[in-house]
Amino acid sequence: MSKIILKNERELNGMRDAGRVAANIRVAVAREIAPGVTTRALDLYARDLIEKAGARSAFINYPGPRGVPPFPSYTCISVNEEVVHGVAGDRKIQLGDIVSIDIGVVYRGFIGDNAMTVMVGVTDPKIIALVRTAEQALENAIAQAVAGNRLGDISHAVESTCKARGFTVVRDFVGHGVGRKMHEPPQIFNYGPPGKGPVLREGMTLAIEPMVNLGSHEVRTLSDGWTVVTRDRLPSVHVEHSVAVHEGGAEILTLAEEETR
Ligand code: MG
């Protein structure tokens, strides 16, 4: 495995700035999610905010695997059975939907990457529990992102939180190191034993992103080459923060101004 890049204080400041931009846009786009709004309208709204912030989307034109065109949207918007990498289009948000928005920006040479899942008038207690569990899994995982712990402690925190409530975690997609590039080493699995993997060190910056399913953990990719859906078409939740590892604990880099008050 290639080496995990440690960031010095100047680089961490760059990550803080980029994280703040990504988080503010995440919260602003979340506020626009409502019945009747298309995913394309949300994506274009995000595009305008990204531009206004002096940043650019880290997602658009991201190279695809062999034979797949580059990613066509500014954000990833994934509704209900869509897990991650949803492509913006004509799909209209409906009452009862859950909508995951993933915002990745490049700002002054650094990446901010974060996601949240918004419930649109959801009343089904199973789906509410699914969303809350994914959020709790992320919180528990972040609590493990402390210097001296091991990477597997983060993975295990996600898996054990979800398993305890009867939900499954996606195995085919992972979190990642983040910095000047969106995807740096290491890969961060959402499952696995604690106490394994590289030791976490001061200055590591990680994008931790639980993807949690109501039904089976199995996923497939649609014919657009990007949109990942659950195989059983049951709902899936995606939440993500970029964090910095410190001696005393993790620092969340992707909190919006209104979330820090
Ligand atoms: Mg990510």
Find the 26 Cα to ligand 1 centroid distance in Å: 13
- State what percent of residues in the chain have pLDDT above 70: 100
**CATH number where 93 lies:** 3.90.230.10
Nearest-angstrom CA–CA distance, 142 and 134: 12
pLDDT at 2 over 90: no
Find the 154 Cα to ligand 1 centroid distance in Å: 15
User: For residue 248, is it within any domain?
Assistant: yes
pLDDT at 123 over 90: yes
User: For residue 1, is it within any domain?
Assistant: no
User: For residue 188, is it within any domain?
Assistant: yes
pLDDT at 217 over 80: yes
User: For residue 203, is it within any domain?
Assistant: yes
Give pLDDT tens digits for 141-193.
Answer: 999 999 999 999 999 999 999 999 999 999 999 999 999 999 999 999 999 99
Find the 89 Cα to ligand 1 centroid distance in Å: 21
Q: Which pLDDT does position 1 carry in this prediction? A: 55
* Confidence at 67, pLDDT banded by 50, 70, 90: very high
Nearest-angstrom CA–CA distance, 207 and 97: 25
pLDDT at 206 over 70: yes
- Picking from 84, 123, 130, the residue whose alpha carbon sits closest to that of residue 238 is 84
Q: 59: burial class by Cβ within 10 Å (0-12, 13-18, 19+)?
A: buried
Find the 261 Cα to ligand 1 centroid distance in Å: 25
Q: Which pLDDT does position 218 carry in this prediction? A: 98
Find the 176 Cα to ligand 1 centroid distance in Å: 6
Find the 111 Cα to ligand 1 centroid distance in Å: 10
- The tokens describing 74, both together, are 């500014």
Q: Which pLDDT does position 138 carry in this prediction? A: 98
Find the 224 Cα to ligand 1 centroid distance in Å: 20
Nearest-angstrom CA–CA distance, 186 and 198: 9
Find the 240 Cα to ligand 1 centroid distance in Å: 7
Find the 24 Cα to ligand 1 centroid distance in Å: 16
Average pLDDT score, the chain:
97
Nearest-angstrom CA–CA distance, 117 and 65: 26
User: For residue 30, is it within any domain?
Assistant: yes
Find the 188 Cα to ligand 1 centroid distance in Å: 10
pTM: predicted TM-score of the whole model, two decimal places = 0.97
Q: Which pLDDT does position 112 carry in this prediction? A: 98
User: For residue 4, is it within any domain?
Assistant: no
User: For residue 193, is it within any domain?
Assistant: yes
- State what percent of residues in the chain have pLDDT above 90: 98
Residue 74, phi then psi, degrees to nearest 5: -80, -25
* Confidence at 261, pLDDT banded by 50, 70, 90: confident
Nearest-angstrom CA–CA distance, 99 and 174: 19
For residues 185 and 174, the answer to whether their CB atoms sit within 8 Å is no
User: For residue 25, is it within any domain?
Assistant: yes
Find the 95 Cα to ligand 1 centroid distance in Å: 27
The domain total for the chain is: 1
pLDDT at 120 over 90: yes
Q: 185: burial class by Cβ within 10 Å (0-12, 13-18, 19+)?
A: middle
Q: Which pLDDT does position 129 carry in this prediction? A: 98
Q: Average pLDDT, stretch 64-89?
A: 97
Q: Average pLDDT, stretch 244-250?
A: 97
Nearest-angstrom CA–CA distance, 236 and 50: 26
Find the 227 Cα to ligand 1 centroid distance in Å: 15
pLDDT at 257 over 90: yes
Domain hosting residue 59, numbered range: 9-259
pLDDT at 25 over 70: yes
